[in-house]
Amino acid sequence: MDLTHYPYPSRRHVVLGRRGAVATSQPLAALAGMEMLLKGGSAVDAAIAMAACLTVVEPTSNGIGGDLFAQVWDGKLHGLNASGKSPLALTPERVPEGGMPERGWLPVTVPGAVSGWRALHERWGRLPFAEVLAPAIRYAEEGFPVGPETARAWQRAEGVYLPLKGPEFRPFQEVFFPGGRAPRAGEVWHSPLHARTLREIAESYGESLYRGPLAEAIAGFSEATGGLLTREDLAAHSPEWVEPLAYTYRGLTVHELPPNGQGLAALLALALLEGFDLRPEDPLSYHLQIEAMRLALADAFRHVADPRFLELPPQALLAADYVAERRKLIGERALPQVLPGLRPEGTVYLAAADGEVMVSLIQSNYQGFGSGILIPGTGIALQNRGLGFSLEAGHPNRVGPGKRPYHTIIPGFLTREGRPLGPFGVMGGFMQPQGHVQVVLALAQGLNPQAALDRPRWQVVPGRGGDEVLLEPGIPQATAHFLKDLGHRVRYEVEYGFFGRGQVILREKGALVAASDPRAEGLALGW
C-alpha cells in the first residue's frame, strides 16, 4: 500500500493516527467522535457519539427512528443486528393492490438504532451514556450550519415531503421544513425536539423508546392517525448478536453480517470474481465485475430475508460447487435482466478505532428522511423500511407480521490471516454491496484507502427495457463503448450521490490509516 499514490482526481489524502481514528460523512459528527476519544472513551463511545450526531446534523439520511447494524473487533469479531420488525398487525392483505406505499404508516417498522447504541455501549462503553450523547444534544439545542451536501439532499426532499397531506405528516413538515422550505447551505438549523428526545434517551439508557414515555408517544400517534405500530410491538423489540459471514479474496478476508442484510451479495460477487484475472482499469474487468454483481444481487433478492424464514443457510450460496456453477453464466456478453426494481436510498456509515477496539457501524431511515412521519413533541422521524419486503406469495421475504425485512445497510470489516485490518463501508441502498466489492478490489490491487474511495465507480440499476449500468464520469469513454458493445445499457451519471459514500480505517504498520469519501462532505481524523 503506497500512501503517497493517488491515481484518481482527489481533493483528499489519507489521514494517519496512532491512538485513534474516526471517519464519517459529516465533519461535525466526526469531531464528536474524536471528542470522545480525547476524553478517554473507546472507539464504541466515538461511534455512538457520531451516530447520534448524524441523526441531527445529517437527518436527510438517518434518524432516531431508523435501524442500525455494526461489526466490532476487540480481539474477536462481533456482529450486531439492531433492525426492527414489522408490526404484528401488518399482514399481506393490508398492502394495497398497487404495492407498499413509500410514505405514511404502512411501511413503518420498529426503530432499532437506539437499542443498538445501548447494546454497543453496554459491552464496550467507557464513558457515561449521557456524555456520549452530549454532542448530539448540543448540536440540536444550539444549532449548527447545514453542510452543502446535506442541504442539497434536504432541498431535493422538498418535492417529496411537502406535498404529503394528512395529520400524520404535519409534525414532520413543521420540524424539517420550517417556513415551508428546506434550510439552505450555511443556514443554522436547530431542533429543540431532537435535543429533548436525545436527553430522554440518554437518561433512560434508551429504555424510554421501547417501554417508556417515548414508546407511549409513538404508539399513541400511531393509533390516532391510522398506524399499525403498537406498544406491544415496541416492547417486544431487542437487538441480536450474530456471527458474521466471511469470504477471503486474494488474501483479504471480507466480513459481512448475515441476512436479513444484503452483505451476502458482496461476498458472493467476490467469490464469483475469484475465478478471473482482474486488471485495474481493463474494460473487460468492468464487464466481469458487473456480471458477477448482477448474479449476486439476483440471488440476494431471491433468498435474503428474516433469518427465521430463510429457505437455505447463507453459506450454501458461498459453497464452492455452487459458485463454480454460477460463474459459468458469466460470458462474453451481458446477461439478460436479472434484477428487480430498485429504489434510491439514504444512509450514513461511520468507522472508528482506538488501540484495542475497531467499529464498523451503519444506520438509516431508508429512503432519505424515511416515512415522513415524526412523532409530535419528539425528534423521532420513523423509517419506511417495510418497503424492503417482497409482495410475492411464498417468498421468504414476503410481507408479514413481526418480520425483519430485507435490509440494504451493511457494515464491512477486513482481516488478513486472522489479524484485524479494519472497518469499511459504502452507503447507498443497493449500491452498498456493489461499493463494497469495488473498494475491496481496489485495496486488493494495492491502492491506499483514500485512492480506493476516490476510484470512479459503476452501479447496476434497472431501466426501461433492461438493466442499466451507471458510470461515473471518471470512467473512460472507451470503457463505456466496450461495455455497450457487449450488450450492456450504459449511461454516464453526473449525480455522484448514486455511487455511495464510503469510509475506511485500516491498521497498517502500526498506524491507523483513515479515509473519507470525496462524494460527501465527510471527514477522517486521526489521533
Kind and range of the H or E run holding 28: helix 27-38
pLDDT of residue 348: 87
Please state, as a whole number, how many other Cβ atoms lie within 10 Å of the Cβ of residue 163: 10
3 state SS for 268-314: HHHHHHCCCCCCCCCHHHHHHHHHHHHHHHHHHHHHCCCHHHCCCCH
Coil, strand or helix at 374? strand
Kind and range of the H or E run holding 505: strand 501-508
What percentage of the chain reaches a pLDDT higher than 90?
88
Q: What average pLDDT is seen over the chain? A: 94
Confidence of residue 464 (pLDDT cuts 50, 70, 90): low
Which of 124-133, 330-339, 475-484 has the weakest average pLDDT?
Answer: 330-339
Query: What's the gap between Cα 97 and its chain centre?
Result: 29
Number of structural domains in the chain: 1
Question: CA nearest 379: which of 228, 221, 192, 231?
Answer: 192
Confidence of residue 305 (pLDDT cuts 50, 70, 90): very high
Confidence of residue 11 (pLDDT cuts 50, 70, 90): low
pLDDT tens profile 120-164: 999 999 999 999 999 999 999 999 999 999 999 999 999 999 999
Confidence of residue 336 (pLDDT cuts 50, 70, 90): confident
Q: Known catalytic residues?
A: 347
* Residues facing 352 on adjacent strands: 22, 359
**Edge-to-edge order in the sheet of strand 412-416:** 15-17, 511-516, 501-508, 419-427, 412-416, 252-256, 245-249
Specify whether the CB–CB gap between 516 and 50 falls below 8 A: no
Specify whether the CB–CB gap between 101 and 387 falls below 8 A: no
pLDDT of residue 212: 97
- Relative to beta strand 489-492, strand 466-471 is parallel
Alpha helix locations (H) across 317-430? Answer: 320-327
pLDDT of residue 9: 81
Confidence of residue 478 (pLDDT cuts 50, 70, 90): very high
In angstroms, the CA 307 to CA 222 distance is 28
Average pLDDT over residues 43-64: 97
Question: CA nearest 388: which of 109, 89, 91, 110?
Answer: 109
pLDDT of residue 337: 65
Q: Domain of 159? A: 1-527
In angstroms, the CA 81 to CA 516 distance is 24
In angstroms, the CA 519 to CA 441 distance is 19
Helix, strand, coil shares of the chain, percent, nearest 5, are 40, 20, 40
Residue 474 scores a pLDDT above 90: yes
Coil, strand or helix at 339? coil
